[in-house]
Amino acid sequence: MSKPLRVGIVGSGFGGIVHAPAYRAQGRFELVAIASPNRAAEVAKERNIPYAFASTAEMLAGVDLDVVSIASPPFDHKSSVSISLEHGKHVLCEKPFGLNVADCEQMVGAARRAGTVCAIAHEFRYTPARIAMKELIENKHLGELREIESSILSGNLRAESERANSWWFERRRGGGISGAILSHMIDQTTWLAGRIPIRVAGFERTANSIRKHRGTTFTTDVADGAFVLLDYGHGLIGRALADGTRAVESATLAVHGEKRAAAASGPNVIEATMFAIDAEETAELQLKEARHAKLASLHPNVPPFVSLLDQFADAIDGKAAELPTFEDGLATQRVLEAIGYSTT
């Protein structure tokens, strides 16, 4: 049996909530350390992680690792990715890949020089509805594709909604709904299309620039809505929107072909009902249960994240794998920058 792949996590928020339990559950990895400037020791104790460090550099100097899993905020990605690659580690980096295209290009170059396995944490590719949609496309069930549309609506950024002030509400640090949510949607649309877009149009919108939290107010310059139109050539377009100012919680993905359409919808990306639609009938499709569905009690994102880690482990072991690559992350970043998500 192969020896466990030793993992260090960067970031104590999503890193502690999702990355840590997912790595521990997958089986091929050994969770060794966590790095964060503020809460590393606390999360290490909560999650039974042996070592805690204040920075990625200290972690790399302090313990022997095979993999660095970067779940820190976007403004840290370039630094943590770069130093991890300098040390010859395999890297899994959260989305959005970086703050701008130039930084992402540098990270892609560093990954190629390092020659290690590098991936972006787009775990939603591995939900049952997305897998089924990809299969329908690949087996030509829908005919020639004409449109892929995706929307995620929520109410957590309405004027009356309260969220604590943090980096998430600062554009210069990579905050806002474009990087947090639209990046996933651009990735899934491009993945389903099977090619990168040749033209992009869109914009970000800030409807509620004054936020409140526990009796205080603050100003934000990040997007609470983001909208993009993508031209993939050969008659195929994509539309994606993410809006946090709506009255409903809803996630929809639909692919329209010349023979029929397929649509998946539900209250969020993970919980979905799927239909095939043509001129004569609408039929509900029975989705396979998520491969790691039993892990949903840990966090709803853990089952698809463990499926991502299955592929990550296979790639590290030299096996065939289907992964969101750093090059995929760069392609998504080009779209984000085209609609205004960039520090440049």
* Three-state secondary structure call for residue 92: strand
* Confidence check: pLDDT of 1 > 70: no
5: left (phi over 0), alpha (psi -120 to 50) or beta: beta
Helix (H) or strand (E) holding 35: strand 29-35
Q: Are 238 and 229 in contact (CB under 8 A)?
A: yes
Residue 281 pLDDT level (bands cut at 50, 70, 90): confident
**Within this chain, do residues 112 and 156 fall inside the same structural domain, yes or no?**
no
| 139, 282 Cβ separation under 8 angstroms | no
Q: Total domain count for the chain?
A: 2
CATH number at residue 278: 3.30.360.10
Over the stretch 51-70, which tens digit does the pLDDT of each residue have?
999 999 999 999 999 999 99
* Percentage with pLDDT > 70 across the chain: 100
Could you tell me the CATH number of the domain that includes residue 55?
3.40.50.720
pLDDT tens digit sequence for 208-259 = 999 999 999 999 999 999 999 999 999 999 999 999 999 999 999 999 999 9
| Residue span of the structural domain in which 72 resides | 5-123
Clarify whether residues 203 and 57 are in a common domain. Answer: no
Say if 294 falls within a structural domain. Answer: no
User: Are residues 108 and 55 part of one domain?
Assistant: yes
307 within a domain of the structure (yes/no) = no
Which of 271, 289, 307 terminates a domain? The answer is 289
Same domain, 33 and 152: no
Same domain, 163 and 263: yes
Tell whether 175 and 243 lie within a shared domain. Answer: yes
